[in-house]
Amino acid sequence: MAASPGAVSPVSATASSPTLEVRNLQTHFFTRAGVVKAVDGVSFTVGRGKVMGLVGESGSGKTVTGFSILGLVDEPGRIVGGEILFHGQNLARLKEEEMRQLRGNRIAMIFQDPMMTLNPVLRVDTQMIETVLAHTKVSKEEARQRARDTLGMVGIPSPDERLKSYPHQFSGGMRQRVAIAIALLHRPELIVADEPTTALDVTIQAQILAEVQKLCAQTGTAMIWITHDLTVVAGLADELAVMYAGRVVEHGPVNGTLDKPLHPYTMGLIGSVPSRNKRGEPLRQIPGMTPSLLNLPVGCAFRTRCPKAQDKCQQDPPLGELLPGRRARCFFPYNMPAEAAA
Amino acid sequence: MSVYLLRRLLQSVLVMLAMSVIVFVGVFAIGDPVEILISPDADQMERERAIKALGLDLPLWMQYLSFLGNALRGDLGRSFVFNEPALQLILQRMPATLELALGATIMALIIGLPLGLYAGLKPKSPLSSTIMAGSILGFSLPTFWVGLMLIMVFAVQLGWLPSTGRGPTVEVLGMRWSFLTWDGLRHLAMPALNLALFKISLVIRLTRAGVRETMLMDYVKFARAKGLSPARVTYVHVFKNILIPVVTVVGLELGSTIAFSVVTESVFAWPGMGKLIIDSINVLDRPVIVAYLMMIVLMFITINLLVDLAYSALDPRVRLENK
């Protein structure tokens, strides 16, 4: 497969600078009922070849964070503050045409529902070739060749034949492979994967996770893996950011965070995962519902559902570094050394 | 595919048969043409001779059977009034109606699709609101009134376009067409626009709704995430999807446009089938009425079949495959 000229940026040669650095990102939706702060001051970095897990319930702002990075936030939403630094270049300030040249080329996205992401009336080859031609000046034949090679790479048998098929002739797992192949066409430096395995069978899910991991390691692609499924990120991600009501409430390396969570919300999420060790016990769940973003509690947004909440939680807790490399937005965290000693 | 076609054809024959019974009985029930056709001062002998000549003395079922037998041989009866084969009368006037209906449909697509697309892509712009308000007018103003107003403005006051008739015609394939000459086109413009008005509004609304719905689909966002140009997203990814409902509805509408161009043809004295049927109903010219209705049924069946085929060409998911 010929390397695309746009794929390797001169800036990415400096190994020390992270591929993506999000600083205090704020994406708000200006609805008739009021301003919805879907993403409210989110910061994280993703290095070359690293996988960042972005975890949270529905409506916690994970997907909007992903769309913000690609510049795909639609009306009435708008990025109102913060920086999205891609190799030091602020994407939030980029003109639409400059952003379009990055999308699908150096930054790619994989969507949640493979049944919905491919256009039903266009053949797979059309949808792949147009992606190649949008960013590189090659002949249609070369573009088809690259499409076929990439389909083979993601494990689609007899890619030549499959190129001529329509999306409805593929199973869900195969469609997601096609979508992943489209994302990989230009060997992007960053992939935003928005719950790409949620709609798939567990066996297919495992296969796709393994493939994606392999491909990322091979190409040095950085990845943001958005999910609500802790078991998926456990085996995949290097770092973890847990989002709640538009904010990161806990951030740290994946193992430490899952073994000894600091924030009560993370604790609740882990507690609600079914496991063999808890056979026979009723599944624990976090009481209450995700609050409406239009009407958040004052102070800590989680306090109305939190078992440890006290009067102090009516103030806004900062995202502080509570342990080395571990940050959480909580006044009364779990698993602190002092608490363990007591 | 061929199995599908065969089944469709068989169904069509049954529909035609059922329709012929309904039409025949219905027309029989409307009234007795004898009263209108025969002069009031004709004596009893003349009356009876005329009734016998027209075949009206036989019982209904025998009349129907003889009609059916003749119809199978392509003979739909002779007009009581013109004393010409009814089918020939209709076929003579069909090109005029066809070119009027097709002209109106093409106009509806050429005007309706771009306006609907614009209104769907920029729903908040003032121009879009104007387009949508205009489409409500197109829906609600009565055709005959708009026709009269068009004549008032363009024929009477401005004098740009002729108000009646087809103008000069050119014979192609044994039929006379007026869209092939400049003057014929000028004659066609106003009636076609009049007939198109409702359909333009329909296409605008369908297109706008389709665009608004399709723009929210994941595959459109994915197409944008692939870095495609906005033009490609709109004209390939969105447009191809909205064509499916538009083609269906416009295709089905074509049948009713042909069948119900009666009003426009009357207003503009357009010598088409619609005018013929109105005249025939006035004098209870039974064979012409029956033949006309049978033609319309045939036309609807054909159009529905063509729409289904076009639909499967546009939407791969309903492509008719041999299983």
At B123-167, the pLDDT tens digits run 889 999 999 999 998 888 888 898 889 888 888 888 788 877 777
pLDDT at residue A339 is higher than 80: no
B237 closest CB neighbour out of A108, A112, A119:
A119
Picking from A159, A185, A211, the residue at the C-terminal end of a domain is: A185
pLDDT at residue B172 is higher than 90: no
Q: Is the dihedral of CA B57, B62, B68, B70 positive or negative?
A: negative
Is residue A5 assigned to a domain? no
ipTM: 0.85
| Confidence at residue B1, expressed as pLDDT on a 0 to 100 scale | 63
| Confidence at residue B174, expressed as pLDDT on a 0 to 100 scale | 67
Question: CA B88 to CA A19: how far, in whole Å?
Answer: 78
Residues of B in contact with A122 (CB under 8 A): 236-237, 240
**At residue B34, what are phi and psi to the nearest 5 degrees?**
-55, -45
Distance (Å) from the alpha carbon of B241 to chain A's nearest alpha carbon: 7
Question: CA B6 to CA B242: how far, in whole Å?
Answer: 30
Average pLDDT, chain A: 86
Pair of tokens at residue B230: 């906005």
| Confidence at residue A3, expressed as pLDDT on a 0 to 100 scale | 43
Question: CA B285 to CA B37: how far, in whole Å?
Answer: 9
Is residue A1 assigned to a domain? no
Picking from A185, A212, A231, the residue at the C-terminal end of a domain is: A185
Average pLDDT, chain B: 84
Residues 85 through 124 of chain A touching chain B, CB cutoff 8 Å? 100-105, 108-109, 111-113, 116-123
Runs of H (alpha helix) within chain A: 62-70, 96-102, 114-117, 124-135, 140-153, 159-163, 172-184, 202-219, 230-236, 254-259, 264-271, 337-341
Instruction: Provide CB contacts within 8 A for A182, sequence distance 6+.
Output: A104, A108, A127, A128, A131, A150, B226
pLDDT at residue B89 is higher than 90: no
- Site from B226, B229, B240, B315 to mutate, A interface, most A CB atoms within 10 angstroms: B226
* Same domain membership, residue A101 and residue A145: no
Quote the domain boundaries for residue A164: 117-185
A215 touching B (Cβ < 8 Å): no
- Which domains are delineated in chain B? 16-72 (no CATH), 89-318 (1.10.3720.10)
Question: What type of residue sits at position B307?
Answer: V
Is residue A326 assigned to a domain? yes
Which residue has better confidence, A209 or B322? A209
Residues A87-138: tens digit of each pLDDT? 988 998 889 899 999 999 999 999 988 888 999 989 999 999 999 999 999 9
Picking from A185, A207, A224, the residue at the C-terminal end of a domain is: A185
Distance (Å) from the alpha carbon of A175 to chain B's nearest alpha carbon: 12
Cβ distance A48 to A12 under 8 Å? yes
Q: What angle do CA A276, A279, A283 make, to 5 degrees?
A: 100
pLDDT at residue B28 is higher than 60: yes
Q: Which helix (H) or strand (E) holds B257?
A: helix B239-259
- Token pair 């209709």 is found at B90
Cβ distance A47 to A19 under 8 Å? yes
Cβ distance A314 to A301 under 8 Å? no
| Confidence at residue B60, expressed as pLDDT on a 0 to 100 scale | 80
| Confidence at residue A278, expressed as pLDDT on a 0 to 100 scale | 67
- Token pair 């003109």 is found at A95
* Same domain membership, residue A295 and residue A155: no
Is residue A41 assigned to a domain? yes
* Same domain membership, residue A295 and residue A215: yes
Tally of domains within chain A: 2
Is residue A199 assigned to a domain? yes
pLDDT at residue B322 is higher than 50: no
- A68 closest CA partner among B245, B225, B14: B225
A130 closest CB neighbour out of B225, B228, B240:
B228
Residues A31-76: tens digit of each pLDDT? 988 899 999 989 999 988 889 999 988 888 899 999 999 999 988 8
Tell me, what DSSP letter sits at residue A303?
G
- Token pair 């910061």 is found at A43
Question: CA B180 to CA B270: how far, in whole Å?
Answer: 16
- Token pair 């965070």 is found at A257
* Same domain membership, residue A79 and residue A130: no
| Confidence at residue A102, expressed as pLDDT on a 0 to 100 scale | 92
Tell me, what DSSP letter sits at residue B217?
S
Distance (Å) from the alpha carbon of A48 to chain B's nearest alpha carbon: 21
- Kindly identify which residue of chain A lies nearest to residue B226, measuring between CA atoms: A104
Cβ distance A166 to A123 under 8 Å? yes
What distances in angstroms separate CA B218 from CA A111, B215, B223, B238, one per listed residue? 8, 8, 8, 11
* Same domain membership, residue A193 and residue A181: no
* Same domain membership, residue A239 and residue A156: no
Beta bridge partners of B85: B78
In 3-state terms, what secondary structure has residue A170? coil
* Same domain membership, residue A157 and residue A69: no
Which residue has better confidence, B120 or B72? B120
Contact call for A121 and B314, based on CB within 8 A = yes
A117 closest CB neighbour out of B222, B228, B314:
B222
